[in-house]
């Protein structure tokens, strides 16, 4: 009985059965393999574990191409959230190759990686820091009877750090545009900064901006150069050396009054009343070197038809020293030979 069953299965009409088996195998192969295709994905790169003192040079690769394969219906999926990683934990300044990591578990089932880059060339550079002024950007125009006299940011300068070349190229940090369209009076508000990629401002993301208006009757402007910078309230025991001894002054006002104004009528000064010489200790208090002392200006004539708009530079560095006569007066007396024994 068993023999007849086996004979029927494997021997009788075996040619037809082999043909059917071949057709079935071919259909299975077609379904499973013949419809497999390949496509390429652009995967964003995340640079991880970068040393804090190094920065990516501009123009670094932002995406890598990863080739995947699978059946057509399995290749239709969202790539949102996918990423490739480049580990920079042992990176040094300069250009070098670093391994590219792409976790295949980000792909759906029945989709596999066909090809991906093993390494990526990355260029890094050392960081730098410096202080730059804040430039207030305005948009629009005030009411027809008014014009912007000045736009001032507080703080008016901030410290930035980032890639050496990028920091060197930045002369100022701009604000987001401040809309002054149609205004009839000045105002103050908080405004965000436009901070370039890879630039850090030590968590300073915005500044207070003050917009001052002036009537359009003050339509003329004139710049006075080489105005001497003077020191007020300087301690009699001290001398002061300024980083800038002259400044530029921009004035605004009625045309006739501007023409009559002389440079000798502009008084520009810094106030040194807070710096004093301590004769007992021989020290200059609070500091012998002061950075960023504000420059002030006024018109000696008191002409109300002209006003000072800007002084450049508006801050200077000052180095205070003790006059030789005062050093001699306060120096400890030298004992005569034989005294004190």
Q: List pLDDT tens digits, range 30-62.
A: 655 556 788 999 999 999 998 888 888 888 899
| Across 185-196, average pLDDT | 94
- Domain of residue 245 covers 217-334
In the chain, the percentage of residues whose pLDDT exceeds 90 is 52
Stronger pLDDT, 105 or 30, i.e. the higher one = 105
On the question of pLDDT at 341 being above 50, the answer is no
| Residue labelled with tokens 């480049």 | 86
Could you tell me if residue 232 is inside a domain?
A: yes
Q: What is the reported pLDDT for 12?
A: 61
Q: What is the reported pLDDT for 110?
A: 86
For residue 79, CA distances in Å to 35, 71, 101, 111 come to 22, 17, 16, 13
Distance CA 310, CA 312 (A): 7
On the question of pLDDT at 244 being above 90, the answer is yes
Could you tell me if residue 157 is inside a domain?
A: no
Could you tell me if residue 182 is inside a domain?
A: no
Could you tell me if residue 324 is inside a domain?
A: yes
The count of structural domains within the chain is 2
Could you tell me if residue 314 is inside a domain?
A: yes
Question: If pLDDT is split at 50, 70 and 90, which confidence band does 340 have?
Answer: very low
Whether the model clears a pTM of 0.75, i.e. scores above it, the answer is no
On the question of pLDDT at 16 being above 80, the answer is no
| Across 323-328, average pLDDT | 81
Among 80, 106, 126, which residue terminates a domain? Answer: 126
Distance CA 41, CA 203 (A): 36
Token pair for 125: 């550079």
| Across 238-257, average pLDDT | 91
Q: Are 192 and 154 in contact (CB under 8 A)?
A: no
* Closest to 126 measured CA to CA, from 85, 155, 168: 168
Tell me what the pLDDT averaged over the chain comes to: 86
On the question of pLDDT at 337 being above 60, the answer is no
Residues 118, 221 within the same domain: no
Could you tell me if residue 5 is inside a domain?
A: no
Q: What is the reported pLDDT for 329?
A: 56
Could you tell me if residue 329 is inside a domain?
A: yes
Residues 226, 330 within the same domain: yes
| Across 321-326, average pLDDT | 90
Among 73, 101, 126, which residue terminates a domain? Answer: 126
Distance CA 174, CA 196 (A): 10
Phi/psi at 258 (5° precision): -65, -45
Could you tell me if residue 180 is inside a domain?
A: no
On the question of pLDDT at 236 being above 90, the answer is yes
Q: What is the reported pLDDT for 52?
A: 84
CATH number of the domain to which 283 belongs: 2.170.120.30
Supply angle C-alpha 91, 96, 100, rounded to 5: 80
Among 126, 152, 172, which residue terminates a domain? Answer: 126
On the question of pLDDT at 143 being above 80, the answer is yes
| Total residue count of the chain as it appears in this document | 341
Most confident of 11-20, 191-200, 215-224: 191-200
Q: What is the reported pLDDT for 214?
A: 83
User: pLDDT tens, 116-127?
Assistant: 999 999 999 988
On the question of pLDDT at 11 being above 90, the answer is no
* Closest to 236 measured CA to CA, from 169, 325, 116: 325
């Amino acid at each position: 009985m068993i023999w007849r069953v086996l004979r029927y299965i494997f021997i009788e009409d075996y040619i037809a059965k082999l043909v059917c088996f071949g057709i079935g195998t071919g259909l299975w192969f077609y379904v499973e393999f013949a419809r497999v295709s390949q496509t390429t994905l652009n995967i964003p790169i995340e640079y991880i574990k970068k040393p804090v003192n190094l920065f990516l040079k501009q123009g670094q690769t932002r995406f890598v191409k990863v080739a995947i394969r699978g059946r057509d219906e399995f290749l239709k999926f969202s790539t949102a959230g996918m990423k490739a990683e480049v580990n920079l934990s042992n990176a040094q300044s300069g250009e070098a190759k670093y391994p590219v990591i792409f976790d295949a578990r980000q792909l759906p089932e029945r989709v596999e990686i066909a090809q991906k880059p093993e390494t990526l060339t990355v260029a890094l550079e050392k960081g730098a820091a410096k202080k730059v002024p804040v430039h207030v950007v305005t948009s629009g125009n005030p009411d027809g009877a008014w014009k912007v006299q000045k736009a001032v940011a507080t703080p008016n300068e901030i410290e930035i750090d980032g890639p050496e070349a990028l920091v060197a190229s930045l002369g100022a940090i701009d604000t987001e545009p401040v809309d002054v369209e149609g205004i009839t009076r000045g105002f103050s508000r908080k405004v965000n900064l436009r901070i370039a990629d890879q630039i850090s401002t030590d968590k300073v993301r915005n500044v207070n901006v003050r917009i001052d208006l002036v009537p359009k009757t003050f339509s003329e402007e004139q710049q006075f150069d080489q105005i001497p910078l003077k020191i007020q309230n300087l301690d009699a025991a001290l001398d002061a050396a300024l980083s800038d001894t002259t400044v530029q002054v921009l004035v605004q006002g009625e045309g006739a009054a501007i023409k009559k104004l002389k440079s000798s009528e502009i008084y520009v000064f810094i106030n040194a009343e807070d710096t004093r010489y301590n004769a007992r200790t021989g020290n200059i208090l609070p500091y012998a070197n002061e950075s960023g002392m504000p420059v002030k200006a006024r018109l000696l004539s008191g002409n109300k038809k002209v006003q000072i708009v800007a002084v450049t530079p508006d801050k200077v560095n000052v180095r205070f020293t003790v006059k030789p006569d005062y050093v001699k007066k306060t120096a400890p007396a030298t004992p005569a030979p034989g005294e004190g024994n």
